[in-house]
């Protein structure tokens, strides 16, 4: 395992998740970037409870303190830490990084996939209002592609396969259909809401939308 390539969660100054870095990139950021001129990032020193058998309770975070490079390089290496070695020292690998001078929250706009359109439309056919299973549903282009319709949220709706076949390459009004509501594009979402998988259990306190922990070996 290449320790320097292990993932590090990056937070803005409000402690909101904004990106990932590698351990190597995180250490460079703590030193002020490649040229040493950027405001330095700080690593989060997290402490978790450990039982008598040495098992870490990742759900019991005792504290989380942001520390500078000068402090970080002096921290002890614990049983559940990864470590990186240089010619002169052994350093604990950061797992979570905070950027105290970065206040923005990047946003993302969902792509118009079947999943996204199904979620927007509540799993119901937008011509009949009938709830559809995944197998019963199709994505319909309101203005057919044959007539110049685009692959956008505003031109795509969930429909039953029967309706989709009936409509074919015609517009709704040409076959006596009417949309129940105008299809709209969803608003941009905070990037933090897309972090649904934690690549290390110590990330969980900073990821409110996490649904899965895909832990890496420590």
> Is 180 within the bounds of a domain?
no
- Which tokens in the block code for residue 174? 């040409």
184-203 in b/e form (b: 16+ CB < 10 A) is: eeeeeeebbeebeebbbbbb
Mean pLDDT of the region 110-135:
94
pLDDT at residue number 216: 55
Q: Do residues 60 and 122 share a domain?
A: no
Residue-number span of the structural domain to which 130 is assigned: 114-175
Residue with tokens 């259990």: 201
Confidence of residue 35 (pLDDT cuts 50, 70, 90): confident
Q: Do residues 33 and 139 share a domain?
A: no
Confidence of residue 218 (pLDDT cuts 50, 70, 90): very low
- Which tokens in the block code for residue 210? 């996490």
pLDDT at residue number 160: 96
Q: Do residues 58 and 162 share a domain?
A: no
Q: Do residues 18 and 93 share a domain?
A: yes
> Is 11 within the bounds of a domain?
yes
> Is 151 within the bounds of a domain?
yes
In whole angstroms, give the CA distance from residue 116 to residue 121.
9
Q: Do residues 93 and 132 share a domain?
A: no
Q: Do residues 74 and 136 share a domain?
A: no
DSSP codes, 102-160: -----EE-----HHHHHHHTTTB-TTT--B--TTTEEEEESS-GGGT--SSGGGEEEEE
Q: Write the pLDDT tens digit of every residue in 40-91.
A: 999 999 999 999 888 999 989 999 999 999 999 999 999 889 999 888 889 9
Global confidence as pTM: 0.67
Q: Write the pLDDT tens digit of every residue in 164-205.
A: 999 999 999 999 999 999 999 988 877 777 777 888 999 989
Q: Which residues contact 177 (CB under 8 A, 6 or more apart)?
A: 127, 163, 166, 167
Share of the chain above pLDDT 70, in %: 97
What count of Cα atoms within 13 Å lies in the side-chain half-sphere of residue 103? 0
Nearest to 145 by CA among 153, 135, 155: 155
pLDDT at residue number 217: 47
In whole angstroms, give the CA distance from residue 49 to residue 13.
26
Mean pLDDT score of the chain = 90
In whole angstroms, give the CA distance from residue 203 to residue 199.
7
> Is 147 within the bounds of a domain?
yes
Secondary structure of residue 56 in the 3-state scheme: strand
User: For the chain, how many structural domains are there in total?
Assistant: 2
> Is 15 within the bounds of a domain?
yes
CATH number (domain holding residue 148): 1.10.30.50
> Is 218 within the bounds of a domain?
no
């Amino acid at each position: 395992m290449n320790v320097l390539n292990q993932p590090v969660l990056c937070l803005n100054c409000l402690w909101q998740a904004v990106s990932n870095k590698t351990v190597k990139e995180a250490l460079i950021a703590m030193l002020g970037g490649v040229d040493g001129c950027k405001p330095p990032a700080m690593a989060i020193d997290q402490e978790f409870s450990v039982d008598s058998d040495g098992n870490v309770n990742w759900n019991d975070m005792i504290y989380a303190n942001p520390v500078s490079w000068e402090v970080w390089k002096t921290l002890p290496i614990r049983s559940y830490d990864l470590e990186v070695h240089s010619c002169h020292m052994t350093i604990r690998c950061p797992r979570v990084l905070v950027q105290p001078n970065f206040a923005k929250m990047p946003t993302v706009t969902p792509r118009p996939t079947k999943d996204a359109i199904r979620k927007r439309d509540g799993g119901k056919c937008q011509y009949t209002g009938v709830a559809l299973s995944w197998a019963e549903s199709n994505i319909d282009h309101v203005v057919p592609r044959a007539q110049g319709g685009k692959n956008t949220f505003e031109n795509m709706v969930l429909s039953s396969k029967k309706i989709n076949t009936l409509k074919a390459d015609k517009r709704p009004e040409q076959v006596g259909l009417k949309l129940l509501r105008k299809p709209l594009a969803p608003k941009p979402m905070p990037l933090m809401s897309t972090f649904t998988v934690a690549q290390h259990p110590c990330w969980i306190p900073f990821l409110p939308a996490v649904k899965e922990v895909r832990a890496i070996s420590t």
